C-alpha cells in the first residue's frame, strides 16, 4: 500500500511560504508523501542561503519548482500586483506539466490532493483534470479573510470606490462603523483590507481579490492558520455563509513542530540569511526585559520613519533587538545615525534578519513591536508575548484591531510615526500599568493555542476531519 501524495503550492512570498511548509510538515507527519512547489526565484533564494538543503528534499518529501514568467531582474518582493497578475497568466501550464510528470514517474505515488494558496485558483483546474481534491490554505486570519470576502458587497453598497481622494486619508471617514458584517460587530472601514481605499473601481488588486477570493470558495476545503477559540465568532459566521467546508488548524507553527519528524522539524524556508548572533546577545539579558522590533519581509519605511523609530527606541531606555532588512528603507539603504548607535550600543542589537520564532520564544523577550503580519501575530500568541502594533497595509489593520480591541494583548501606534509615541508605547508595554494585564492575557492565549493542537483540541480534531472528510475521502490508494 502506497502513501497518499499531496502537492503543496504556496504564493511565493515569505509570509505565505512559511505556513504552507508548516502544513506540509504536518501532512508528512501523518504519512503523506509531499511535493513542495516553489517558483524558480524562491528556489534560487533558498539555495543562496541554505545551500543544497532543499535540492532533493528528504525521504518522501521532495522539492520542485516552476517558472513564474517574469524577467530575472523583476522586483518580486515589492511589486505585489504584477506578481499576482503573473500567477494568473503564466503558472497554470508549468504547474500542470509538473503534476503530470509526477504522476508518470516511477517510484512516486500518484497525486492524491493539491493544497495551494487560496488565491492560486488555477491549481483547481489541474486538480479537476486529474480528479483529486484541491484544498485552499488561507494564510490570513479568519477575520481578515472574512474582510476580503466582503469586497463584492462593499462594491454593491457603493463604499468601493471611495467617492473622493481625500477620503482615503480622512480619519473620521475611515472610522465609520460597518455594522452589517456577521460576526464582526463594530468593525470600521479602517479595519478592512487597505486595498479598498481607492477611487478606482477597476483597481487591479480590488478586482483580483473580488474574483479570486470568491473563486476559492469552490475549493474542496478551506484551511485556516488560526484556532477556533481565538476567532470563533468570525469562523462561525463564515461557516454559516458558505457551503465550502472550513478547517482551523492553527497555530500551524506549533502544531507542525509538535507533530513533525526530527529530520524536518528544524528546516528553514527563510528567503534571507538568518543571523544567530542576536540569540547569543539575548542570553545576557534579564528575563522579559527586551523589546523585539521587526516589520516583516515586505514593509517599507521612509528615512524619516526610520529616524523616528530609532530615537523612540533610544529615548525609552529599553533593551531591544531591531531587525533592519537591507531593503527596509524606501529608495535607499537603511542608515542609522552615529549618534543613535553610540547612544544605544550597550542595550541595542541590530540584525538584518533572524529566526523570529526562536527570538520570540526566548525568556529575555518581553514585547514585540510588529507590523501585524499574520505569521508574526501567530508566533507572538504562541509564545505569550504582548505587542505594539504598527499596521501598514493589506490585512494588517484587521489583525491589529483584534490584537488590541478583542484579545487585549497589544497597543496600536496610530497616525504618523514620531519618537514621542514610540517612547510612550514601549514604556507602557514593558513596564506600564497595562503591561501586567496584557502579559496575563497573552499567557492565556498562549495556553489556549497549546490546547488547540494537542490531542482532543479544536485544531487537532479539525485536522483529523480534514484528512477523513476531504484529503483521503473515498479514494483508494493508487499504485506508484
pLDDT tens digits for range 403-458: 999 999 999 999 899 999 999 999 999 998 889 999 999 999 999 999 999 999 99
Residue 198: C-alpha distances to residues 165, 166, 170 (Å): 8, 10, 13
Residues contacting 82, CB < 8 A, separation 6+: 70, 74
In a domain, 198, yes or no: no
Q: What is the pLDDT of residue 53?
A: 58
Q: What is the pLDDT of residue 50?
A: 76
| Pair 281, 415 in one domain | yes
In a domain, 183, yes or no: no
Helix (H, G, I), strand (E, B) or coil at 208: helix
CATH of the domain at 243: 3.40.50.2000
Query: Cα–chain-centroid distance for residue 335?
Result: 28
In a domain, 197, yes or no: no
Above 80 in pLDDT, residue 148?
A: yes
Q: What is the pLDDT of residue 168?
A: 95
Q: What is the pLDDT of residue 262?
A: 61
**273: which 3 cell numbers?**
540569511
Q: What is the mean pLDDT of residues 223-230?
A: 98
Helix (H, G, I), strand (E, B) or coil at 430: helix
| Pair 291, 336 in one domain | yes
| Pair 257, 119 in one domain | yes
Q: Which of 52, 23, 51 is nearest to 36 (CA)?
A: 23
Q: What is the pLDDT of residue 136?
A: 98
In a domain, 156, yes or no: yes
Kindly indicate the confidence band of residue 473, based on its pLDDT and cuts at 50, 70 and 90.
confident
Q: Which domain holds residue 414?
A: 277-431
Residue 359: C-alpha distances to residues 99, 275, 279, 456 (Å): 38, 11, 7, 29
How many domains does the chain fold into?
2
Query: pLDDT tens digit string along 237-289?
Result: 999 999 999 999 999 999 998 877 666 766 778 888 899 999 999 999 999 99
| Pair 234, 375 in one domain | no
| Pair 242, 346 in one domain | no
| Pair 102, 128 in one domain | yes
| Pair 150, 97 in one domain | yes
| Pair 309, 230 in one domain | no
- How high does pLDDT run on average in the chain? 93
114, 95 Cβ separation under 8 angstroms: no
Q: What is the pLDDT of residue 326?
A: 86
For helices 374-382 and 252-259, angle between their N-to-C axes, nearest 10 degrees: 60
Q: What is the pLDDT of residue 1?
A: 47
Kindly indicate the confidence band of residue 479, based on its pLDDT and cuts at 50, 70 and 90.
very low
Cα–Cα distance for residue pair 212/149, rounded to 1 Å = 10
Q: What is the pLDDT of residue 258?
A: 81
In a domain, 300, yes or no: yes
Query: pLDDT tens digit string along 289-332?
Result: 999 999 998 898 999 999 999 999 999 999 999 999 988 887 76
Segment among 147-151, 209-213, 261-265, 362-366 with least mean pLDDT: 261-265
Cα–Cα distance for residue pair 242/245, rounded to 1 Å = 8
In a domain, 178, yes or no: no
| Pair 382, 246 in one domain | no
pTM for the model stands at: 0.95
Q: Which residues pair with 7 in a beta bridge?
A: 35, 114
Cα–Cα distance for residue pair 302/208, rounded to 1 Å = 28
How, if at all, do strands 5-9 and 111-117 pair?
Answer: parallel
Give the H or E element holding residue 56: none
Query: pLDDT tens digit string along 172-218?
Result: 999 999 999 999 988 999 999 999 999 999 999 999 999 999 999 99
Neighbour count for residue 125 (Cβ, 10 Å): 12
Cα–Cα distance for residue pair 178/5, rounded to 1 Å = 43
Q: What is the mean pLDDT of residues 103-110?
A: 94
Q: What is the pLDDT of residue 335?
A: 81
In a domain, 106, yes or no: yes
| Pair 114, 38 in one domain | yes
Hey, which bits of 345-479 come out as E strands?
A: 348-351, 365-370, 387-389, 410-412
In a domain, 195, yes or no: no
| Pair 293, 224 in one domain | no
Query: pLDDT tens digit string along 36-95?
Result: 999 999 999 998 887 665 555 567 899 999 999 999 888 887 788 899 999 999 999 999
| Pair 261, 367 in one domain | no
Q: What is the pLDDT of residue 233?
A: 97
Q: What is the mean pLDDT of residues 119-144?
A: 97
Kindly indicate the confidence band of residue 333, based on its pLDDT and cuts at 50, 70 and 90.
low
226, 142 Cβ separation under 8 angstroms: yes
Amino acid at each position: 500500500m502506497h502513501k497518499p501524495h499531496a502537492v503543496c503550492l504556496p504564493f511565493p512570498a515569505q509570509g505565505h511560504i512559511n505556513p504552507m511548509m508548516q502544513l506540509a510538515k504536518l501532512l508528512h507527519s501523518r504519512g503523506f508523501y509531499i511535493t513542495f512547489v516553489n517558483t524558480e526565484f524562491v528556489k534560487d533564494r533558498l539555495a543562496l542561503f541554505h545551500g543544497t538543503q532543499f535540492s532533493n528534499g528528504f525521504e518522501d518529501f521532495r522539492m520542485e519548482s516552476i517558472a513564474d514568467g517574469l524577467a530575472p531582474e523583476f522586483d518580486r518582493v515589492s511589486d505585489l500586483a504584477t506578481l499576482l497578475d503573473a500567477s494568473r497568466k503564466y503558472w497554470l501550464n508549468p504547474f500542470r506539466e509538473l503534476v503530470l510528470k509526477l504522476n508518470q514517474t516511477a517510484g512516486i505515488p500518484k497525486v492524491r490532493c493539491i493544497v495551494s494558496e487560496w488565491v492560486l485558483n488555477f491549481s483547481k483546474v489541474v486538480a479537476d483534470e486529474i480528479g483529486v481534491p484541491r484544498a485552499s490554505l488561507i494564510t490570513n486570519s479568519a477575520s481578515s479573510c472574512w474582510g476580503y470576502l466582503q469586497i463584492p458587497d462593499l462594491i454593491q453598497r457603493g463604499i468601493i470606490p471611495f467617492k473622493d481622494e481625500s477620503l482615503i486619508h480622512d480619519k473620521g471617514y475611515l472610522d465609520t462603523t460597518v455594522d452589517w458584517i456577521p460576526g464582526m460587530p463594530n468593525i470600521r472601514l479602517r479595519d478592512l483590507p487597505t486595498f479598498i481605499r481607492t477611487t478606482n473601481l477597476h483597481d487591479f488588486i480590488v478586482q483580483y481579490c473580488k474574483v479570486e477570493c470568491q473563486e476559492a470558495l469552490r475549493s474542496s476545503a478551506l484551511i485556516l492558520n488560526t484556532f477556533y477559540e481565538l476567532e470563533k465568532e468570525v469562523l462561525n459566521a463564515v461557516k454559516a455563509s458558505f457551503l465550502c467546508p472550513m478547517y482551523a488548524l492553527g497555530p500551524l507553527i506549533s502544531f507542525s513542530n509538535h507533530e513533525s519528524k526530527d529530520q524536518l522539524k528544524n528546516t528553514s524556508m527563510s528567503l534571507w540569511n538568518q543571523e544567530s548572533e542576536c540569540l547569543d546577545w539575548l542570553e545576557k539579558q534579564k528575563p522579559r526585559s527586551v523589546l523585539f522590533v521587526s516589520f516583516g519581509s515586505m514593509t517599507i519605511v521612509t528615512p524619516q520613519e526610520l529616524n523616528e523609530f530609532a530615537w523612540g527606541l533610544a529615548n525609552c531606555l529599553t533593551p531591544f533587538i531591531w531587525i533592519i532588512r537591507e531593503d527596509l528603507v524606501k529608495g535607499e539603504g537603511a542608515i542609522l545615525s552615529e549618534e543613535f548607535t553610540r547612544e544605544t550600543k550597550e542595550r541595542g542589537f541590530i540584525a538584518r534578519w533572524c529566526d523570529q520564532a526562536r527570538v520570540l520564544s526566548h525568556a529575555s523577550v518581553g514585547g514585540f513591536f510588529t507590523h501585524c503580519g499574520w505569521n508574526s501575530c501567530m508566533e507572538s500568541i504562541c509564545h505569550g508575548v504582548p505587542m505594539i502594533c504598527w499596521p501598514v497595509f493589506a490585512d494588517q489593520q484587521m489583525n491589529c484591531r483584534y490584537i488590541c480591541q478583542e484579545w487585549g494583548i497589544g497597543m496600536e501606534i496610530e497616525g504618523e510615526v514620531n519618537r514621542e509615541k514610540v517612547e510612550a508605547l514601549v514604556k507602557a508595554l514593558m513596564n506600564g500599568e497595562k503591561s501586567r494585564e496584557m502579559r496575563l492575557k497573552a499567557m492565556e492565549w498562549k495556553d489556549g493555542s497549546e490546547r488547540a493542537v494537542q490531542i482532543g483540541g479544536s485544531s487537532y480534531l479539525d485536522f483529523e476531519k480534514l484528512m477523513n472528510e476531504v484529503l483521503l475521502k473515498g479514494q483508494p490508494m493508487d499504485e506508484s
